[in-house]
A and B are shown apart, each in its own frame.
Chain A
């Protein structure tokens, strides 16, 4: 018996015995796919025909002028099918599910992006699909729930614990421990037990591979810095993967600063001093927990970053000094969101806007000959309810009130 899936002191496989054989099979199938060039080819083909890969690299000319420093480039993961980078991982895992011969997929979702992506994949591949979502998130994200159900998925509102993402993950694990013979758990991020961190990071590396080529083709040089928001860390690992071997490219992960690191109401595991080494949901990593080891409630304006743990791979890269971590407060996020919409006509998801915050702080300090790259992990326009509310938009509120009255009539 040996430990597997470690990145420095982080990672591992803390799984209940009932899932031992299931993980054996998953590791076997994943290892085979990883070493099979045909698998990657079929993955890229699928993503270029069913989604919009390669996603474009956009030069943000107006923001660059306004901020007066480095040239700002945006990797447009928002233009993926279903509107976020989540589709990459999900479609890739869908291909693995076919290889394993399973007929049902389950997934957790916070904001609903990963749930919608998984329900979409299930519809395309003909799998049964159940999505676990914290009751509080079901309340906040009705439009995504609507689409998941339309796509044929059963959405289960999880009433346990804090009724958010971590509770949805627990519920998905419980389902898997019962239905492992027919079912694959499509974990949405680079967390959880081995092989998930490696597998999701590998599937998301498609972002970084494209972005590196595009930077050279369009900018003529690599960026000085690459920014990505970090919840679990899948979009960040995706884009960072393209630049890990370029020591002159600084990699910056931006966590949810919520109401401010000092308030305790945030989700910054590495950028704050509140994260401690622990073991939860199958992996060893940095968690927001109390001195007894109980997980704390987290806070962020963006549901997708509102999570207690973070990728073991990112923790290791942080320890090695390869990735720097910063945080962006809810307030800063809304400013960056507004500025990007008005200057570029591009609407980032609130998650993605965290990366923009830090890039806007640092771009003016760089030379005009240099470039920075932001991973725009998803689009914000489809989260109109959340964003309109975060902007406290009065006309929107009136519209909702009127709509409510019409339904009451």
Chain B
């Protein structure tokens, strides 16, 4: 199971890295290159985002990547085929699908879960599917032994955090601040306090995302959380400097100075 994979990896690294990319942006060929770089840099988990026309939880960078990918003509079937190839090429990495619920709903929950299992996907992050609406989807995931990752946010009550912890498997995705993906986050004392609140709600590994952009952020998070998530920053870097630079950047993040 994913939780065990994460715990095992944690014996080798103080903090794990989870990266993100939008399938078909800038192209599947570039996706292939950057995933190779990520894997070579030792990234443990990668979110593959299947693009959706209305990505309401995403900020400008990922939003643009979604619409550009769709303009390129990206289809769900292609994303699945590509994911299958990538899971086969990089068995050492845990791949997750990130997408919006309509993609799964229209494909068919049962079919999507079964196909994901066959591909070698480990779990799902679906930002617009709260557990309250996810009963049938969760039972499909259980059947396929796939993990549903839910999201802790700073606006949650302790009661809601507990409810979410109960339905989460694998790990919990924690949001560092209000807002959408990509904006700057302050890594300070209030963040530490926030993480403590998350920690007391669950024994599952914690991933923290939204606004993680540099080595200093990773240093801050070291020992506080299990997985650092880097999303928008890598898309920008990939766009500006190419896939190799993404690899260099990722390698630099966990270097001991």
Contact = CB atoms under 8 A, between A and B. Distances in A.
Partners in one complex: yes
Contacts of A1: 131-132, 163, 167
A369 interface: no
Given A20-B130, A178-B178, A293 B52 contact: yes
B175 A173 contact: no
B205 interface: no
B106 A174 contact: no
21 contacts: A12-B133, A14-B133, A17-B151, A18-B178, A20-B130, A20-B153, A20-B160, A160-B63, A174-B56, A174-B59, A174-B179, A177-B57, A180-B178, A181-B178, A278-B102, A278-B105, A282-B56, A292-B75, A292-B103, A292-B107, A293-B107
Interface string A193-226: 0000000000000000000000000000000000
A397 B75 CA distance: 43
Interface string A229-266: 00000000000000000000000000000000000000
A135 to B, nearest CB: 13
A19 B128 CA distance: 11
Interface in B142-163: 150-153, 155-157, 160, 163
Contacts of B87: none
A21 interface: yes
Q: Which 6 A-B pairs have the closest CB atoms?
A: A293-B106, A178-B179, A1-B132, A294-B53, A18-B153, A293-B102
Contact of B54 (A13, A17, A166, A277): A166
A12 B102 CA distance: 13
Contact of A281 (B56, B151, B163, B179): B56
Contacts of B167: 1
Given A281-B56, A294-B52, A17 B150 contact: yes
Chain A interface: which size bin?
Answer: 35 or more
Contact of A180 (B70, B155, B180): B155
Interface in B61-91: 63-64, 67, 70, 75-76
A279 interface: yes
Contacts of A20: 130, 153, 155-156, 160
B128 A170 contact: no
Given A17-B164, A21-B160, A294-B53, A177 B178 contact: yes
A341 B141 CA distance: 59
Contacts of B152: 17
A279 B109 CA distance: 13
A371 to B, nearest CB: 42
Nearest to A23: B130
B242 interface: no
A13 B178 contact: no
Given A16-B151, A280-B102, A3 B132 contact: yes
Contacts, number: 117
B103 A16 contact: no
Nearest to B64: A160
B79 to A, nearest CB: 9
B216 interface: no
A358 interface: no
A280 B160 CA distance: 24
A170 B106 contact: no
Contacts of A181: 178
B237 interface: no
Contacts of B107: 292-293
Contacts of A287: 102
B54 A281 contact: yes
B101 interface: yes
Contact of A17 (B63, B64, B156): B156
A263 B246 CA distance: 45
B120 interface: no
Interface in B14-35: none
A59 to B, nearest CB: 44
A279 B99 CA distance: 13
A19 B151 CA distance: 11
A45 interface: no
Given A13-B133, A16-B127, A293 B105 contact: yes
B9 interface: no
A291 interface: yes
A129 to B, nearest CB: 20
Nearest to B105: A279
B106 A17 contact: no
A178 to B, nearest CB: 4
